[in-house]
Amino acid sequence: MRKAAIACGAVGLVFFLAAGLLAFWITPAFIARLPADSNTTRTYTGTIQRVVNPVALKRGDFAAAVTTNVPQTIRHQVTVQQTSGNTALVKDSNTVTTGSGQRIGAVTEHYAVDRTSLEATTSHPSDWAVSRAKGLTVNWPIPTSRQNYTGWENLTQTTVPLKYVRQEQHAGINTYMYQATVPTTPIKNPQVLASLPASLPASVVQQAARAGLVPSSLVPSLSKAFPPGSSVPLGYTYEATTTYWVAPATGIVVDQSTSEQQTGGLAVAGGKVIPVLPVLADTYKQSPSSVRAAVSDANNGGGTITTWGTTVPIICACAGFVLLVLAAVFALRGRRPAATPFARRAGVP
């Protein structure tokens, strides 16, 4: 009995230890975090209400300079390229094409992010070439809480509040809804600016006004400030409103809906832009196939976290408790006094 009690007690303690390690260390530190082999692609579909072709605009071809009501598809791919402890090097790529397959634009960034909080971090290997971002960049925390967060807007290189709205069923699963509003802010992303003209001849701006692309009320002041033969320096602004539906356990964005606008204007001192010409206005949302894929990923990821962070620890704790009870029973039985020879002769068991 003594050996059985010791064995049950030792194994029971091991099970209790395993339950604690799984629930409070192994799962949070190694399971509930961005996987090292993560490679996720989502597509978004929508409509470009208005887009300006900068090449046609610069050469004064106003008939081809503006296109309206064009279907669009956005391909967004997020890939973990390297990891260092709890930090990941993530490649974030966006490609925009029209319904006919014509490519409108593409932006690729690299971020160093914490694999659990998903916030951008400066704690990374020195040979990683990453953008100096702040806040959330490619995903939401694991797990996500019902609170406000700070996100990163890549086009303007500024932070944006991510406001918690409510909890709701969306696409068949429980989600947290968040909204982000980017006010009119100058575009600073060098990849985006490289695709847009930094200036236009004053004559082209005046022709654009006559074509109805530039408000006629601005023509007198522009003509006075920029005589024929000179160039008009341009700047660009961005504004957007986005709604996100996020799976709490995994931080996966189940669905997203965005309305945005880019505007070209006169670049003045202090980095300010006087709006003149809408360059892009569009709306888009996550495609049905991507919503289904996101729901599947959220369910699978959430199931794994629940299994190793809750279910298995409970089983281990219960098994440990039963074994400790058995150890106590065996120990008590081992202490039962043996019958004396007199008692045996008297027929006492």
Residues 87 and 182 occupy one common structural domain: yes
Q: What percentage of the chain carries pLDDT values higher than 90?
A: 59
Q: Are 306 and 32 in contact (CB under 8 A)?
A: no
Residues 232 and 314 occupy one common structural domain: no
Q: What percentage of the chain carries pLDDT values higher than 70?
A: 93
Residues 125 and 52 occupy one common structural domain: yes
Task: Count how many Cα atoms sit within 13 Å of the Cα of residue 116 in the half-sphere of its side chain.
Answer: 11
Provide the domain count of the chain: 2
Cβ-Cβ contacts under 8 Å for 72 (sequence gap 6 or more)? 45, 46, 47, 48, 96, 97, 98, 99, 104, 282, 284
pLDDT on residue 343: 47
Domain-embedded: residue 179: yes
For residue 83, is pLDDT > 80?
Answer: yes
Q: What is the DSSP letter of 63?
A: H
22 CB-contact burial (10 Å; exposed 0-12 / middle 13-18 / buried 19+): buried
Question: What global pTM score does this model have?
Answer: 0.86
Q: Hey, is 41 helix, strand or coil?
A: strand
Per DSSP (E only), the strands in 15-127 are: 39-52, 66-84, 87-98, 103-114
Residues 254 and 233 occupy one common structural domain: yes
For residue 309, is pLDDT > 50?
Answer: yes
Q: Are 76 and 43 in contact (CB under 8 A)?
A: yes
pLDDT on residue 346: 47
For residue 46, is pLDDT > 90?
Answer: yes
Query: In this structure, which amino acid lies at residue 325?
Result: V
Residues 139 and 282 occupy one common structural domain: yes
Residues 124 and 72 occupy one common structural domain: yes
pLDDT on residue 285: 97
For residue 340, is pLDDT > 60?
Answer: no
Residues 112 and 17 occupy one common structural domain: no
Q: What is the mean pLDDT of residues 48-56?
A: 85
Domain-embedded: residue 348: no
Residues 184 and 51 occupy one common structural domain: yes
User: What is the span of the domain harbouring residue 331?
Assistant: 1-31+308-336
Domain-embedded: residue 282: yes
pLDDT on residue 91: 98
Residues 67 and 203 occupy one common structural domain: yes
Residue 34, strand partner residues:
none
pLDDT on residue 61: 75
Domain-embedded: residue 4: yes
Q: What is the mean pLDDT of residues 73-91?
A: 97
Q: Which tens digits make up the pLDDT trace of 254-302?
A: 999 999 999 988 887 677 787 778 889 999 999 999 999 999 999 999 9
Residues 180 and 204 occupy one common structural domain: yes
